[in-house]
Amino acid sequence: MVYRGALSIVGKAGEIYATHGGITLSVVDREPQLQWFDEGQGLSASLHIERIDIPSGGSLAPQELLFLRRKPPSSPSFRSLSGETFAGDLGAAERFIIHITGTRLKAQLPTVETQDGIQGQVTFALPGWTLRLVADAEAYAFVIEATPDSLPITIKEVERLEWQLFLLLSLLRGREAGLAATAGIHDLGHVVWARWAKPRRGTGQWQWCPDHLFADAFTELAQAFSKLADNPTMEKVVDRAINLYLTANGTQPIDARIPVACSGLELLAWAVLQTEQWLTTGAFSKLWAAANLRLLLQWSGIPIDAPSAFTELEARRLSLEQPDLAGPDAVLKIRNDLVHPPKRLSKLEWPSVAEMQQAWRLSMHYLELVILRILGYQGQYLPRLQLTARWATDTESVPWARQR
């Protein structure tokens, strides 16, 4: 139970119903379930609710957090909340506690001595904030304490911080990190503001950053995010590229994931080659997409040759009597064959599952490495190009670090 008391229910047409009830946050297999219940008016279950407001002065101190192994039986008195609920006085908050759902971190974070004993945590900074991250062993994947550099704080500043944390953690974990609850804390330790939400929940098939690399990679990329904030245009480009990366790394049909990955690569080529003055806007538009991608990989220090183990791509090239292709050409040719209809109904030249799997691996290899190169990452990563199983500890230095 995160709140119990007076509630104002706002309907679709703006009508307001004053009632008494509560908001519950239960954690089912580390995924939050946000619900509310009515103890007052007995509102109709068919009522379309636009939002729920908590009147000023209501106590926001959490009463109970319920941990469950499986979903509880449904009850007509409880209704799920799909949006966001805000409450309290944001201006009175002096620090914030942000709760992140997702896969539990299996590696130990660097330990420090705290008032409650030894705890694993990472201290870092983002523009305007000093933060500490803890890997929670119970309900949440991570809990982050965020202290603003100056007060008072605005809702836009809180939302920007949450978005940066979402991108940073999602990039490291290879799937969407869920922001479930944010609590604003007064200097006396009281909760004076809160935001509860049902977080985005994505899937992921590969994680370039194994758990044993997390602490070092997290610290380095947090610094990179801070530096990137000085270039708002490139920051927006990288934000969008990370979202495309997360979608392409999911479990949707593979013939949909390949075009998404290629969209991310084309976006980054467009931004990087102009920003780094490798191409003018006019020159970029005159080159084929594969040529632009080859230049992007050259700038990044990423080899363009298709891996010799990717025999399905080579066999497809030979069967279609195509010229000798580098990796970018092979990937984009597969993409084009997926998004455009074949030339003839009598000869459907769609790629096979094996060909798509190799094209997807190669496109994602390019995409995640280019993102890391833009961020200036110099550490280790787990390559996804090896077709056979490998240990999570079989990491390598990023290609541009090996070339120094």
pLDDT single digits (tens) 81-102: 656 777 888 999 999 999 998 8
247 and 309 part of one domain: yes
Please list the ranges in the chain whose pLDDT falls under 70. 1-2, 25-34, 40-41, 58, 61-83, 136-138, 321, 323-324, 387-389, 404
125 and 263 part of one domain: no
Has residue 222 been placed in a domain? no
Has residue 181 been placed in a domain? yes
125 and 200 part of one domain: yes
Sign of torsion, CA 143 149 151 154?
negative
Q: Where among 205, 239, 264 does a domain terminate?
A: 205
9 and 43 part of one domain: yes
Has residue 250 been placed in a domain? yes
pLDDT at position 361 is 96
Helix-helix angle 289-300:353-374, to 10 degrees? 50
pLDDT at position 69 is 40
Has residue 220 been placed in a domain? no
Number of domains in the chain: 3
Q: Where among 84, 110, 143 does a domain terminate?
A: 84
pTM: 0.85
Has residue 312 been placed in a domain? yes
Domain that holds residue 29: 1-84
| pLDDT tens readout for residues 276-332 | 999 998 999 999 999 999 999 999 999 998 888 888 888 887 877 676 678 899 999
Has residue 382 been placed in a domain? yes
35 and 130 part of one domain: no
80 and 126 part of one domain: no
99 and 79 part of one domain: no
320 and 339 part of one domain: yes
243 and 346 part of one domain: yes
46 and 145 part of one domain: no
**How far is Cα 81 from Cα 322, in angstroms, rounded to an integer?**
54
Contact residues for 21 (Cβ-Cβ < 8 A; gap 6+)? 4, 7, 36, 37, 38, 39, 40
| pLDDT tens readout for residues 266-276 | 999 999 999 99
139 and 195 part of one domain: yes
